[in-house]
Chains A and B, each alone.
Chain A
Amino acid sequence: METNQETIFQDKVDHEIKIEPKDWMPEKYRQTLIRQISQHAHSEIVGMLPEGNWITRAPSLRRKAILIAKVQDEAGHGLYLYSAAETLGISRDEMYDQLHTGKAKYSSIFNYPTLTWADIGAIGWLVDGAAILNQIPLCRTSFGPYARAMVRVCKEESFHQRQGFELLLTLSQGTDAQKQMCQDAINRWWWPSIMMFGPNDDASPHTAQSMKWKIKRFTNDELRQKFIDMIAEQVKVLNMRLPDADLKWNEERKHYDFGKINWEEFWQVVGGNGPCNKQRLDARKKAWADGAWVREAATAYAEKKASLNPSKGGTSETV
């Protein structure tokens, strides 16, 4: 009986017992999670592009190695997350297809261009910083495979944020040109970063249900405020400023007040009209299309081997 199962399900969630792939779950819970986890996975994969843009131009061998490692971590996060979503009954190919056809979204922040080296620092500090605040509560999310994937993701993300801050710190103590580059990157990434928490709570209709299912633990506005409070202090260490004339400590609220967010821009970028929406999606589609013959060859070879030697099941390597 569905109602009974629903009661048992909600009871587990209320008691912080993880929901596992084989457990009964409401269809809408499954669909919401597929949407959220695949969107998260796509964000990791598309997110490789703006940073990958600077790998071949990184200014020192140390920075080059760090950046490759970081972008590679993101590929790894994508991998765990696709696997977590697959436990809900969707294949990785289906998810790719949803990304390529525009049916699935990814984080809009990656539709902004990386114009200078300082942008790599700003992405680490601000974008990964915002992502971490969103993700830490997900380590306790009600769906087991997602929660476990997030524990690993968060460990690496906090390293990413530190490297971003350290990169900017180096620039902020450098030549005038480097300081300028640093401030310019902060100016361009600040507003898109605080939009990463999503629309205001009163414009976020799914929040209540997601909170009840413990897919979400804090509201968009709560997390955004936490982020702003954190960054407003850290920016002082860099001797830089955030591009918001209304940013001011409010003694009564014990929080920073901040200026009006340009939601028109947010919805435009979500809707596909950001500066790099087309390039990002084109790059992913191209990689997938160009790789088709490689995947076909790997499959053909594996099948050939399996038919020649069925007991060994073909090549030992998983492609």
Chain B
Amino acid sequence: MNVSNIKNSQVSPSEGFREAFTLHLADNALIMGHRNSEWCGHGPILEQDIAISNIALDLIGQSRNFYQYAAQLFNQSTNQPINLATEDSLAYLRDVRDFKNCLLVEQPNADWAQSILKQFFFSTYQYYLYQQLQNNKDEQLKAIAAKALKEVTYHVRWSSEWVIRLGDGTEESKKRSLKALDELWMFTGELFEPAFYETTMNIDFVLLKEGWTKKIRSVFEEATIDIPVENKWHQTGGKIGDHTEHLGFILAEMQFLQRAYPNSEW
């Protein structure tokens, strides 16, 4: 399996894993942030328009930290300092098959119920993942996770409150919440299935899943939503570049200027 096809053919496997893992973290944050930013100016309540845009900003900020670190790793390990990797070359010049984000984050916003539930699943996952990462041996990942954890704690609180409100609000909001669950549940299993590059990063996926499931359970209970059965089939593959068709459109839009006007400063 090709760990990374970006300008480095001479990396040792462990370095390659670290780079791939860093890119995975960056891609997750960017694509989720990008989806959130689609709400900006179109939210159901002005205060919530501001809140979801704020989460978009936090996530794009996190992705920049991870991309900058990934770029640094790539540039250190190459003997040819031409075409140096940058945060923008990594975000804007890779294609669908190189992106390593989970399938969950690239799913459409659809309505407020689906956006909220997606946020809740993702932020809760990020929360438990970053908790582990802040004790990682890699100093840089550790620092980024520790800083981001403060933001993510708020994202979890905000999205939980909304999941509860919508689940236990009106008949309509309950119906929409259940539909969102039906759309998204199949993408949650992937979060806890380690990709090859995650196996050496000292992440305890059992613990991660435990924490996540416990939180989902308690919030769903308050929201009066039944949690789906555990062993249902899950869609996977995003982490190694096997995406849903949605990602291509996200990238086509996001990368348009960089592709149409190559080698320009913006």
Mark A residues whose CB is within 8 Å of B. Answer: 45, 48-49, 52, 55-65, 68-69, 71-72, 75-76, 78-79, 82, 117, 170, 173-175, 177-178, 283, 286-287, 290-298, 300-301, 304, 315, 317-319
Contact = CB atoms under 8 A, between A and B. Distances in A.
Given A65-B57, A69-B57, A75-B50, A48 B41 contact: yes
Contacts of A294: 44-45, 48, 112, 166, 173
Contacts of B258: 59-60
Nearest to B262: A175
Contacts of A315: 161, 165
B54 A72 contact: yes
29 contacts: A57-B257, A60-B92, A60-B258, A61-B91, A62-B64, A65-B60, A68-B40, A68-B56, A68-B57, A75-B50, A75-B53, A117-B266, A177-B264, A178-B264, A290-B44, A291-B44, A294-B112, A295-B44, A296-B169, A297-B166, A297-B169, A300-B169, A301-B165, A315-B165, A317-B161, A318-B47, A319-B45, A319-B47, A319-B48
B173 A55 contact: no
Contacts of B265: 170, 173-174
Contact of A68 (B60, B257, B264, B266): B60
A287 B109 CA distance: 14
Task: Please indicate which of the listed interface residues A61, A79, A173, A286 has the most CB atoms of chain B within 10 Å of its own CB.
Answer: A61
B233 interface: no
A214 B92 CA distance: 51
A79 B173 contact: no
Interface string B171-185: 011001000000000
B46 interface: yes
Given A65-B60, A65-B64, A68-B60, A60 B45 contact: no
Task: Please indicate which of the listed interface residues A55, A78, A296 has the most CB atoms of chain B within 10 Å of its own CB.
Answer: A55
A85 B266 CA distance: 39
Contact of B43 (A68, A177, A291, A300): A291
A296 B170 contact: yes
CB-CB nearest 3 A-B residue pairs: A291-B44, A297-B169, A297-B173
Grouping DSSP codes into helix (H, G, I), strand (E, B) and loop, the A interface class, with mixed when no group exceeds half, is helix
Nearest to A286: B42
Contacts of A60: 88, 92, 258, 266
A170 B265 CA distance: 7
Nearest to A287: B42
Interface string B15-53: 000000000000000100010011011111111111001
B92 to A, nearest CB: 7
Contacts of B91: 61
Interface of B: 30, 34, 37-38, 40-50, 53-54, 56-57, 60-61, 63-64, 67, 87-88, 91-92, 111-112, 161, 164-166, 168-170, 172-173, 176, 253-254, 256-258, 261, 263-266
A288 to B, nearest CB: 8
B168 A304 contact: yes
A286 B46 CA distance: 14
B126 to A, nearest CB: 18
B169 A52 contact: no
A297 B56 contact: no
A170 B254 contact: no
A75 B176 contact: no
A48 B52 CA distance: 14
B113 to A, nearest CB: 8
A79 B43 contact: no
A59 B89 CA distance: 11
A121 to B, nearest CB: 10
Given A52-B41, A59-B257, A68-B57, A170 B169 contact: no
Contacts of B34: 56
A69 B60 CA distance: 11
Contacts of B111: 290
